[in-house]
Amino acid sequence: MGEKERQDGFEAPQTHGEDASAVETSGVEGPREPRAKRRWPIVVGCVALVLALAGAGLFAWHQTPGFCNAVCHVPMDNYVQGYFEDESLCANAHYRAGTSCLDCHEPKLEEQVAEGLAWVRGDFRVDENGDIATVGVTADEKMCTQGGCHDMKDVIAATADWGGEAGVNPHESHQGAPIDCSNCHGVHKVSNMYCNACHDYLTPEGWTNPA
């Protein structure tokens, strides 16, 4: 740099130094991607996995009596207890055979939503014992034979000549109209020998006769 340039307060451009600096920094990597952006796919994946496991667990729980008892609590207690413990009930026979609630009570979303809302509002009927009323709930042949649970031909054959009386079979109605299975078989209550409203057939042990 000349004397005159230094006196005037100006410096000449140092092109050589700048070129060297550019060469030194040319191999440096650019700015790294923020860690938060790199982590979000992992977070989303973990959340999805947790939700999937929770959903699977809820679905499994949903098929057990405990679910019904947890949702409706006290009004369902006797039904759940009978299912597990009362060997005089058909419900307990189903339990011992490995049959779950939803094998008979087909889960329909609209019905379950309506039942849940009725429970929240307290808008449901109970019987004299405080249990959820079963008015209008029946188990017919279609329900009991679904999924191959029961075969009516086998049932009819097993009860031929009932009580040692020739020609008597409680599973072959002579009324000209179908009789629901639940007319006799009380799944969640004591079974009743419906035929004996007119007849005097053998009453199975633990059953009652029509009043």
Least confident window among 48-52, 58-62, 116-120, 188-192:
58-62
Q: Is residue 11 part of a domain?
A: no
User: How far apart, in whole angstroms, are the C-alpha atoms of residue 170 and residue 167?
Assistant: 10
Q: Is residue 77 part of a domain?
A: yes
Containing domain of residue 175, as a range? Answer: 138-211
Question: Which region holds residue 136: left if phi is over 0, alpha if psi is between -120 and 50, else beta?
Answer: left
* pLDDT, tens digit (0-9, with 9 covering 90-100), for 96-123: 999 988 888 877 778 778 877 887 887 7
Residues 126 and 74 in one domain: yes
In sequence order, which residues have a C-beta less than 8 Å from that of residue 138 and are 6 or more positions away?
A: 180, 182, 183
Residue 74 in any domain: the answer is yes
Where is pLDDT greater, at 23 or 164? 164
Q: Which residues contact 192 (CB under 8 A, 6 or more apart)?
A: 183, 184, 186, 207, 208, 209, 210
Q: 51 is written with which tokens?
A: 């939700």
Residues 118 and 148 in one domain: no
What per-residue confidence (pLDDT) applies to 192?
94
Bridge partners (DSSP) listed for residue 132: 126
Total number of domains constituting the chain? 2
